[in-house]
């Protein structure tokens, strides 16, 4: 544990922590001194972290009872919560594994990306306040800021009326509303909006060289982002370096939305 880190003495709860951006946040926050409860719908192997400053909890963020149990576990383990990172998320294409028709895909994506963010925040806020205040970081997306006609662009999933942009746009607006509500209660609320990042969510796009090349060229920096770069942004927003920042959307997209 880094006793001199930006998050020294802080307790962080991170959802979607078993892969991609969530996992990168666990590593980054531990390196900067936080104690971490890593939560995911799948079982997390803690051996790779080689520290007693992290523990795990299996949780489906779409289920209120499980989210409430997750918060209770965090309190019994660490005694409080200072930071919540809502990283649990799914793309429409990834949701195909659990859905058989467009309506089920829509419901699955909205439930995980938007409802899950709401539920975790709902149960965590009173405990963050009781712990002396802190920070909530929601993982949104550039697709919460721009629109695209899914199915018309060969680079993107051909699923018709795509639920992913509305789900992430909802996260952006939820972030703003919650930030205003909590502004005088010692809790800052912000979101990070990644561009295309090298995670499992983009694996199907990156596996095709032609598609991957087109994807790269959507970004002025001519590359995709790394999960660690998004974790850096989340760390900044969680730390006192961002003490006067709330209700904001931090775009980490290689220039995508500047075009």
List, by residue number, the catalytic residues.
164
Contacts of residue 148, defined as CB under 8 A and 6 or more positions apart, other chains included, come to 156, 162, 165
Q: For residue 6, count CB atoms less than 10 angstroms from its CB and return exposed for 0-12, middle for 13-18, buried for 19 or more.
A: middle
> What order do you get walking across the sheet with 134-139 strand by strand?
54-58, 35-40, 11-14, 83-86, 134-139, 187-194, 249-252
CA separation, residue 246 to residues 138, 243, 255 (Å): 12, 8, 22
CA separation, residue 208 to residues 55, 97, 143, 157, 219 (Å): 37, 20, 22, 13, 17
Least Cα distance to 193 among 252, 146, 234, 147 occurs for 252
């Amino acid at each position: 544990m880094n006793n001199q880190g930006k998050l020294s003495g802080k307790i962080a709860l991170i959802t979607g922590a078993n892969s991609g951006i969530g996992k990168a946040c666990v590593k980054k926050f531990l390196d900067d001194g936080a104690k971490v409860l890593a939560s995911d719908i799948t079982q997390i192997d803690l051996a790779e972290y080689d520290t007693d400053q992290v523990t795990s909890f299996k949780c489906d963020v779409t289920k209120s009872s499980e989210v409430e149990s997750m918060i209770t576990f965090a309190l019994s383990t660490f005694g409080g919560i200072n930071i919540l990172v809502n990283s649990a998320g799914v793309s429409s294409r990834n949701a195909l594994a659990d859905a058989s028709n467009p309506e089920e895909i829509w419901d699955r994506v909205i439930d995980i990306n938007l409802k899950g963010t709401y539920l975790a925040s709902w149960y965590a806020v009173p405990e963050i306040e009781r712990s002396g205040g802190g920070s909530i970081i929601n993982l949104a997306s550039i697709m919460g800021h721009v629109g695209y006609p899914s199915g018309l662009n060969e680079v993107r999933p051909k699923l018709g009326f795509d639920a992913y942009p509305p789900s992430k746009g909802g996260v952006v607006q939820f972030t703003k509303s919650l930030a205003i509500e909590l502004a005088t209660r010692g809790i800052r609320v912000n979101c990070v909006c990644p561009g295309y990042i090298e995670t499992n969510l983009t694996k199907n796009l990156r596996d095709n060289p032609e598609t991957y090349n087109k994807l790269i060229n959507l970004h002025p920096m001519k590359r995709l982002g790394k999960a660690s770069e998004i974790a850096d942004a989340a760390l900044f927003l969680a730390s006192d370096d961002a003490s006067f920042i709330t209700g904001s959307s931090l775009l980490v997209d290689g220039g995508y939305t500047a075009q």
